[in-house]
Amino acid sequence: MNAQPAQQRRLLDLADLDATIRRAEDARRNPAQAARVHELVARRTELTQELTTRQGVRDDLRTELKRIESDVAVVDARRERDLERLNAASNPKEAQGLESELASLARRKSDLEDGELEVMQKLEEAEAAVAEIEAQIAEVNDEGGRLSAAGKAEVAEATAKLEAATRDRGAVVGELPDELVAFYDRVATRSAGAALLRRQTCEGCRMVLSGTDLSEIRQASADAVVTCPECGCILVRTEESGL
């Protein structure tokens, strides 16, 4: 294939634009924040499960505390009733029975209050445990929100670059022969597409060409489209090629 040297040099612009397009597409699909966001999502799921467990423990203790408070209220009501009955009693035997029951109620209330204190302490610890997880979730959500916003901005920037590079690529393609563009597109599927031959080195794969390969390229006409024997990209020759 043959193409004017100036047209071949324009292939370098095409290759640069294609590289920009690839980077922009990759940035859109995989913004730098994506991996961390995925980690945070998994961490939030883990924390949410732990929060549910801790809330369950806290709620059970709240229920237990209410039950004890209810039992204390019942004991207090019975104590008030028995005191009234004792104050009004005229029968020594009845009074003795009421005094015995009041003593039993006092012991019962003491036991309930001891249990109440124990549950209240456990409840305080459980509420602190819930608050700890809630704080961690808030931190995860805060970081996730900031990263998501940054990711959206990065995607928007990549989209703008993609659109600009695609537009510029269309302009470059419009300047070149269809046959040359088709050939470039074929080799670009497995290489850089086009690269400078600088100081006897292909800048597409960074390989130094052998003497035999360089000799063949020297013998090729200026408008001949030559390719790198190593990576297959189109080699653009200039005065810096070292031929």
Arithmetic mean of pLDDT over the chain: 93
Same-domain check for residues 48 and 73: yes
Task: Write out the residue range of the structural domain in which residue 114 sits.
Answer: 29-157
- Position 169 in a domain: no
The mean pLDDT of 32-57, rounded to a whole number, is: 95
The domain tally of the chain equals: 2
- pLDDT tens profile 137-156: 999 999 999 999 999 999 99
Looking at the fold, whether 138 and 47 belong to one and the same domain comes out as yes
Q: Do 98 and 198 sit in the same domain of this protein?
A: no
Q: What is the pLDDT of residues 152-205, one digit of tens each?
A: 999 999 999 999 999 999 999 999 999 999 999 999 999 999 999 999 999 999
Does 100 lie in the same domain as 22? no
Q: Are residues 37 and 145 in the same domain?
A: yes
pLDDT score recorded for residue 121: 96
Same domain, 60 and 107: yes
Q: Is the pLDDT of residue 91 over 90?
A: no
pLDDT of res. 99: 84
**What is the mean predicted confidence (pLDDT) over 31-43?**
92
In terms of domains, do 189 and 127 share one?
Answer: no
Q: Which CATH number fits the domain that encloses residue 117?
A: 1.10.287.1700
Q: Does 122 share its domain with 195?
A: no
User: Is 190 exposed, middle or buried (CB count within 10 Å of its CB: 0-12, 13-18, 19+)?
Assistant: exposed
